[in-house]
Amino acid sequence: MSETRTCNPAAPSIFTEQVAELVAIGAAIAANCEPCFKYHYDQARKLGVSDLDMRYAVDLAQKVKETPARAMLNLAERYLGKSTSETKAAADSCCVTNPETQAGHCK
């Protein structure tokens, strides 16, 4: 049997303009959207949001974003074995090398 949740109309909303900007900052991090981050950072500053609160939003967004990426890497490692230091170094760089042609390009 599923639980039915009801909204408490007497409860005040905590979703202020400041909270909305923190959420938008987190979404910008998740979307890798530099213009979005800059815009919402500026908006949050105008609303008096502290750098510390913005840092919390960024850190939390990054943790949420990294979780599925880490899970996919773990899956690949289970199928293919642990990566070598050489492939890890390549993965950590900005340039991706095509193993067939040894040609690299930056994203």
Residue 41 in any domain: the answer is: yes
Tokens of 78: 């289970």
pLDDT band for position 107 (cuts 50, 70, 90): very low
* N residues, the chain: 107
Residue 86 in any domain: the answer is: no
Q: Which CATH number goes with the domain that contains 26? A: 1.20.1290.10
pTM for the model stands at 0.65
Residue 10 in any domain: the answer is: no
Give the number of domains in the chain. 1
Residue 28 in any domain: the answer is: yes
Domain of residue 65: give its range: 17-81
Contact 73/64 with Cβ under 8 angstroms? no
Residue 102 in any domain: the answer is: no
Residue 73 in any domain: the answer is: yes
Query: Hey, is 97 helix, strand or coil?
Result: strand
Per-residue pLDDT reduced to its tens digit, 54-97: 999 999 999 999 999 999 999 999 999 887 655 666 666 665 55
Residue 101 in any domain: the answer is: no
Distance CA 67, CA 49 (A): 27
